[in-house]
Structure 1
Amino acid sequence: MPVSVDTLLCERICRAATERVIGNQVVVAPTVWCGMAEHHMDFGGTFTFDVPIYRALLLCLLKSLERNGFRRVVIVNGHGGNRPALQALLPDFARETKLRIRVAMYYAATGKSVISMLDRAAGKHAIEFETSMMLALTPELVKNSRLQEAYGGQEPEREYAPILRRTTRHRSYKRLASTGVYGDARRASAEKGMAPIKECAQSLAEMLNHKNIWLNSAELRSHK
């Protein structure tokens, strides 16, 4: 699959979600195609930010939205490598803007069918879940002839030193999965991809439609 998988899936699902938002009062900003990808740099064609650049970029975009009159922003993330940085940067965004901001993975609020596919895949990267959606949306970007090679990934610590699973360290994905596939995508198909696309879009729309999405803690308590 191409290196643009996260960008393509996230943008398509965001646009599909806006069509389900009541009143359709949502603007989808251009997708930020680069993020925190140091763990993928051993693979060709990869670009990455460091944390200060990522922070500066997002903050500039948020301030631009604020100056254009927006007051509420949902940052929909499509790349797992961005999650720790986004979590760490949220206090900065709250301090340096007056925006009400939420962050979510595009599949964060999905239901049983997506979760079951993620569970069956038992992997972390380029797995059945992502591959099936790519086959449904952009099949020309997936090399079907190599689908049976789409399996791999190993973490010896999990088997030989399970106590070390309680710690965290940086590792190149190429060392964990030489093909880039960490898990098993061999059962992926376009037919399997349609359901999670619809469910991801629907769940994201339901989150945006929720009456309490923009209330802070004090406001939520007063609404009880």
Structure 2
Amino acid sequence: MVEHRWNRLTAPRLRELAAQDAVVLLPVGSTEQHGEHLPTGVDDFLATEVCRRAAALASVPVVVAPSVSCGLAEHHMAFGGTLTLSLSTLHALLRDVCRSILRAGFRRILLVNGHGGNVTALQALVPELTAELAAPIAVTSYFTAGRTAIAEVLETQSHLMHACEGETSMALAAFPELVRTDLLPRAAGPAIALQAEDPAPVHRFVPFGETTANGVAGDARTATADKGAALLDGCARALADLLVSLPAT
């Protein structure tokens, strides 16, 4: 099996991949509460898993960098179990990691986001990073790249929410030992829009506790590992297809 993960490869092998103009996928997740039934690392784990699967499918050389496991999660803090960064810290962290990747000889970096709360920040930061590093840093969210596959697989929702049918299904497929299946019967909450698609005419900070009492948005009770495998593979295929046209310096 071909290894794509940066921290499992040797420096000489990474130099070879840089010389082949490999694309570097940098997963950007979050460590935050996901209700009673899912671990706090869901967004980090799933972004990394989709990147790993996409690397195996891609028609171009790919390296999956170690993930940025914390993001912007202030809205989850009241539930406990959550780590959050300031926007300036996230900016500095991404700048230094991307600079290191470029100094290692790579020219193409795609940030692959796995957390709804990071979406607007990353879209704003990418132009800053591109200017600061003189390199075309790009960003996608795996659930945006794979939106068609997600809509086709899910039964109770058309897009990912939070600790929902989709995230729970993928967790059951990728790391079932971390899912509290005994708590699934009460893992349901109100439906929410993706942050980037919120139709509200005025944006304000809304703590997640104002949306849901149990930390869940969507209905995880219909989650299955089979759905999760289909979601992960569909998102990975969509991500892999994007890499062919990713520009270089």
TM-score (normalizing by structure 2): 0.77
* Alpha-carbon shift at residue 154 of structure 1 (Å): 7.1
Unaligned runs of 5+ in 1: 156-163, 217-224
Distance 1:113 1:69, change over 3 A: closer
Other-structure match for 1:197: 232
How does 1:2-41 map onto structure 2 within 5 Å? 2-23=39-60, 25-41=61-77
Match of 2:101 among 62, 65, 77: 65
**Matched-pair identity in %:** 42
2:201 matched to 1:166?
A: yes
Q: Does the CA contact (< 8 Å) of 1:154 and 1:176 recur in 2? A: no
For these two proteins, the number of residue pairs brought into alignment is 205
Other-structure match for 1:185: 220
Other-structure match for 1:47: 83
Q: Does the CA contact (< 8 Å) of 1:39 and 1:173 recur in 2? A: yes
Other-structure match for 1:207: 242
Q: Deviations over 1:194-214 (max 9, x none)?
A: 1111111111111112xx321
* Alpha-carbon shift at residue 120 of structure 1 (Å): 3.0
Other-structure match for 2:187: 150
Partners of 1:143 and 1:208 lie apart in 2 by 35
- After TM superposition, which residue ranges in structure 1, 4 or more long, deviate above 6 angstroms? none
Equivalent residue of 2:173, what SS? Answer: helix
Q: Does the CA contact (< 8 Å) of 1:77 and 1:104 recur in 2? A: yes
**Higher alpha-carbon Rg:** 1
Q: Deviations over 1:25-76 (max 9, x none)?
A: 2111101100100011111111100111111111111111111111110000
Distance 1:87 1:143, change over 3 A: same
Partners of 1:138 and 1:207 lie apart in 2 by 26
> CA-atom RMSD, angstroms?
2.0
Q: Does the CA contact (< 8 Å) of 1:117 and 1:128 recur in 2? A: no
Q: Does the CA contact (< 8 Å) of 1:154 and 1:177 recur in 2? A: no
Partners of 2:175 and 2:82 lie apart in 1 by 20
* Alpha-carbon shift at residue 82 of structure 1 (Å): 0.7
TM-score (normalizing by structure 1): 0.85
* Alpha-carbon shift at residue 112 of structure 1 (Å): 3.6
How does 1:111-130 map onto structure 2 within 5 Å? 112-117=148-153, 120-121=156-157, 124-130=161-167
Q: Which segment drifts farther, 26-35 or 90-99?
A: 90-99
How does 1:65-104 map onto structure 2 within 5 Å? 65-104=101-140
Distance 1:172 1:128, change over 3 A: same
Partners of 1:76 and 1:47 lie apart in 2 by 19
Unaligned runs of 5+ in 2: 1-37, 193-198
* Alpha-carbon shift at residue 125 of structure 1 (Å): 1.0
